Structure 1
């Protein structure tokens, strides 16, 4: 079997209230990754701004933009210039009163290859996303690009094995998770470790169960709670790339801006699925109860 590899990079960085500054930081990261040979570059969730979902504030809807729009134009031109595929994460204004948390893939020719609207929307202290985002309606469909079929999901989706499985069943070559997740600074060190370990383990499990590489790009840095009702969020970074047996191929730190890059073998997925044929042995004739919320 001929080995097919893809040079992948993640752009992990902190954000500020200055959107222009954040965009410049992201563009610089994309250029640096491309200069190092990356052909697929993944950005973190809602990379243009602070993570505004810590509070419910109608003024934050002003951050939303259309797709196509300013960001897809800007990063489309950048992708074409550099000859790379870029996974963006945008606050989409679909219509008046309808907004989505949307990942957009721009191909190496600058065109929009496709988009994915976040399906699972959290509503927890500090993560009030249901106030802002309408649940996605595009389903779990990989996006065909010049570097392969990308199974793009977003943050909270990473906890749901069903989402990863459906992307794999539709022929995804990789699973990709732009992310914004962090600690409550009031949590003790042991609790913080449990949360981080659970986050990594869950996504590595998706790699194992589906025989696919997983790419997870998180942000870093402390972001204050505008309402002062909490101590904000310390985004924990730890962006990583895992292989199809869950092996960690590259792993970023928890504090610093970082470009994480690795040459991922896409051919290994077939080799792994030959020795661990989970797809073959699925008993779909007995999985009907998965369509229920709970088995009473």
Structure 2
């Protein structure tokens, strides 16, 4: 089987607090209306909001509730992400839950939105998972997609679909739409970039096909996006090329160039070191007349 239906949920969150009742209600309504849906994906930090003070150790009661919902409706469920407490550290963590209600993996956001997402640690492990008889999926979170190495690594690990919860409420959302399309095209994969609305995002979620084509772009309010994908489209385009043309994954595999930047022990270069510290811009004083 190559067809699979994923519903992205752009939920209208009323506040930066406990939104789990709204998420539960949305899942119940979604399944009743669209019983063919096989996977549901929410946006970043939807469950408990964007404050690290709401971090919980995992497994948690909230995660267990989502596991029960996944099992009840026989769904794959990506309930966005939540802040995870690990001793004194806090991570931005996404759970992958299968239709048996089991957490098959957890992914920790690799690139917190620094300097603004202060106090959140970086994850270091890439996560892909297999849906039996369908294909391989990869996950990333929000700012991760600004670093092409993250999506390229998932594609090199065999991911055919990237599930990407985000929480963007800033004026750079239009740039992210371009980045989502680019990530899909250069890695020849589906890309589900699911944003929140209301207090937890400015909407405009986007679902992109493996040619970089926009399958659907949401508005700024609450929206449910059930979309059937065809894994054979990914496999064919990776074999024959994007629109029968470029084959970037094969070209990357067969490259002769050595990217020495990635072998640097300091992971930096003399030029990058001149850019100064990673800090919020300071207000500039206005010279008096």
TM range (shorter): 0.7 to 0.9
Q: In the TM superposition, what whole-angstrom CA distance separates every residue of 1:16-42 from its partner, at most 9, and x where no partner exists?
A: 34744x111111222233330211110
- Quote how far apart the aligned CAs of 1:14 are: 2.5
What secondary structure does 1:129 align onto? Answer: coil
TM-score by length of 1: 0.81
Structure 1 segments unaligned to the other structure (5+ residues): 53-59, 184-191, 224-234
Counterpart of 1:142 in structure 2 is 128
- Quote how far apart the aligned CAs of 1:289 are: 2.2
Counterpart of 1:188 in structure 2 is none
What secondary structure does 2:250 align onto? Answer: coil
Q: Distance in 2 between matches of 1:251 and 1:215?
A: 10
How many residues align? The count is 257
Counterpart of 1:227 in structure 2 is none
- Quote how far apart the aligned CAs of 1:294 are: 3.6
Contact 1:11-1:26 within 8 A present in 2 as well = no
- Aligned pairs for 1:79-98 (under 5 A) are 79-88=70-79, 89-95=81-87, 97-98=88-89
Shift in CA distance, 295/268, structure 1 to aligned 2, threshold 3 Å? farther
Structural RMSD (CA):
1.9
- Aligned pairs for 1:52-201 (under 5 A) are 52=51, 60-61=52-53, 63-88=54-79, 89-95=81-87, 97-124=88-115, 128-131=116-119, 133-138=120-125, 140-146=126-132, 148-183=135-170, 192=171, 195-201=172-178
| More moved, 278-287 vs 40-49 | 278-287
| More moved, 279-288 vs 35-44 | 279-288
Shift in CA distance, 295/288, structure 1 to aligned 2, threshold 3 Å? farther
- Quote how far apart the aligned CAs of 1:247 are: 1.0
- In the alignment, which of 201, 204, 211 is matched to residue 188 of structure 2? 211
Shift in CA distance, 285/174, structure 1 to aligned 2, threshold 3 Å? same
- In the alignment, which of 19, 26, 29 is matched to residue 29 of structure 1? 26
Q: Distance in 2 between matches of 1:205 and 1:293?
A: 25
- Quote how far apart the aligned CAs of 1:152 are: 0.5
Q: Distance in 2 between matches of 1:208 and 1:215?
A: 13
Contact 2:74-2:100 within 8 A present in 1 as well = yes
What secondary structure does 2:118 align onto? Answer: helix
Q: In the TM superposition, what whole-angstrom CA distance separates every residue of 1:14-69 from its partner, at most 9, and x where no partner exists?
A: 3234744x1111112222333302111101100123333xxxxxxx52x1112211
Asked if 1:245 corresponds to 2:211, the answer is: yes
Counterpart of 2:44 in structure 1 is 45
What secondary structure does 2:46 align onto? Answer: coil
Contact 1:251-1:260 within 8 A present in 2 as well = no
Counterpart of 1:230 in structure 2 is none
Contact 1:44-1:219 within 8 A present in 2 as well = yes
Counterpart of 1:229 in structure 2 is none
- Quote how far apart the aligned CAs of 1:211 are: 0.8
Structure 2 segments unaligned to the other structure (5+ residues): 242-246, 272-289
TM-score by length of 2: 0.83
- Quote how far apart the aligned CAs of 1:222 are: 4.3
Shift in CA distance, 274/25, structure 1 to aligned 2, threshold 3 Å? same
